[in-house]
């Protein structure tokens, strides 16, 4: 397979985020998308965005792991469970997994970023920030110094996270939310848009308001999580 135009990239997904990932990788990375893959029940055509659309269970024959890298372009469905499951599938198939970091992201030299991360324009990543695998940072966020964002997190836009924070696994943070210094967002949290978090949260919670309060419904129920 030719490497002209960039390293060949298989994008897992066939929706809005997959289309955006294709655009970003194509015009602002060292990768060149060559195909999309989805699970068989969701494949309704043979092409997507002008590229082949293949069944995920046949992808290793069509696009072998040694010839292409992969990226899972899926949103926060079921508190990121779908993206995590597809990421795990790609890892089992022995693909190298790419990340996208916008050229318009401010990233201090010692920031650590894992694989299958999707970090869009105008994010500010301050010194000593650590971003683990399978994390999405939509545009315009501030990630304060010495903060760690753990696996399978989705952060939307214009979120302010102060220094020394911990964002635990599989959480979601809505537009314009703000976190105080030294706050921990527990695993499986859903932080509603505009919420102000001044103290650490508890697992599996929906938090809303200013100051944010925990709602009675569990986040996994609110987001209709189905564990496999």
Q: Which residues are annotated as a binding site for substrate?
A: 75
CB-based contacts of 75: which residues, under 8 Å, 6+ apart? 15, 16, 17, 83, 136, 154
Q: What DSSP element (H or E) covers 86? A: helix 77-92
- Could you give the C-alpha distances from 74 to 118, 135, 227, in angstroms and in order? 10, 11, 17
- Candidates 30, 28, 34; CA nearest to 11 is 34
Q: How far apart are CA 172 and CA 168, in angstroms?
A: 10
**DSSP reduced 3-state for 59:** helix
Annotated binding site: 75
CA gap 32, 95 in Å, rounded: 16
């Amino acid at each position: 397979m030719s490497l002209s135009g960039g390293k060949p990239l298989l994008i897992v997904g066939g929706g809005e985020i997959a289309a955006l990932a294709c655009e970003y990788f194509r015009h602002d990375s060292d990768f060149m998308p060559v195909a999309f893959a989805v699970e068989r029940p969701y494949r309704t055509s043979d092409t997507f965005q002008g590229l082949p659309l293949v069944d995920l269970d046949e992808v290793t024959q069509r696009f072998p792991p040694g010839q292409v890298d992969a990226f899972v372009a899926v949103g926060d469905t079921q508190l990121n469970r779908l993206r995590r499951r597809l990421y795990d599938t790609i890892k089992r198939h022995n693909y190298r997994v790419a990340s996208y970091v916008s050229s318009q992201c401010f990233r201090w030299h010692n920031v650590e970023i894992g694989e299958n991360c999707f970090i869009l324009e105008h994010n500010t990543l301050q010194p000593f920030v650590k971003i683990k695998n399978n994390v999405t940072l939509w545009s315009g966020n501030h990630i304060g110094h010495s903060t760690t964002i753990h696996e399978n997190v989705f952060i939307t836009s214009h979120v302010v996270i102060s220094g020394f924070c911990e964002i635990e696994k599989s959480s979601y943070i809505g537009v314009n939310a703000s976190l105080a210094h030294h706050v921990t967002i527990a695993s499986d949290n859903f932080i509603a848009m505009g919420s102000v978090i001044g103290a650490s949260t508890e697992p599996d919670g929906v938090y809303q308001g200013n100051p944010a309060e925990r709602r009675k419904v569990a986040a996994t129920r609110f987001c209709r999580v189905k564990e496999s």
